[in-house]
Amino acid sequence: MSSSAARNEAQELGPEHYREICDEIGARLGFVLRPAPDLPPRMIELLDRLALLDHDAPSIVPSMEDMAPVEEEAPLVRR
């Protein structure tokens, strides 16, 4: 298919087609990325605990207010 033919075909797609494409991609990703069903119960317990602890943890990303402007340093001189 040439690029102009593909472009014309893409122009014929309406919003409902884009929604269906997104839904199909989401369904396929959900199938591929689903958790393994054969995890031991202890592993499932530990993963659940990790998710709980991670949810309550503070973010390590600094806020914009906490970030200081970067000051330029003098260039290093090699001898």
pLDDT digit string (tens) for 13-60? 788 888 889 899 988 988 888 776 788 899 889 988 988 888 777 777
Q: Nearest 5 degrees, angle CA 14-CA 17-CA 20? A: 155
Per-residue tokens: 23: 């839904």
How far is it, in rounded angstroms, from Cα 53 to Cα 46? Answer: 10
* Predicted confidence band of residue 12 (pLDDT cuts 50, 70, 90): confident
Whole-number pLDDT of residue 69: 67
How far is it, in rounded angstroms, from Cα 6 to Cα 13? Answer: 11
- The DSSP 8-state label assigned to residue 36 in this structure reads P
Helix (H) or strand (E) holding 42: helix 41-56
* Predicted confidence band of residue 61 (pLDDT cuts 50, 70, 90): confident
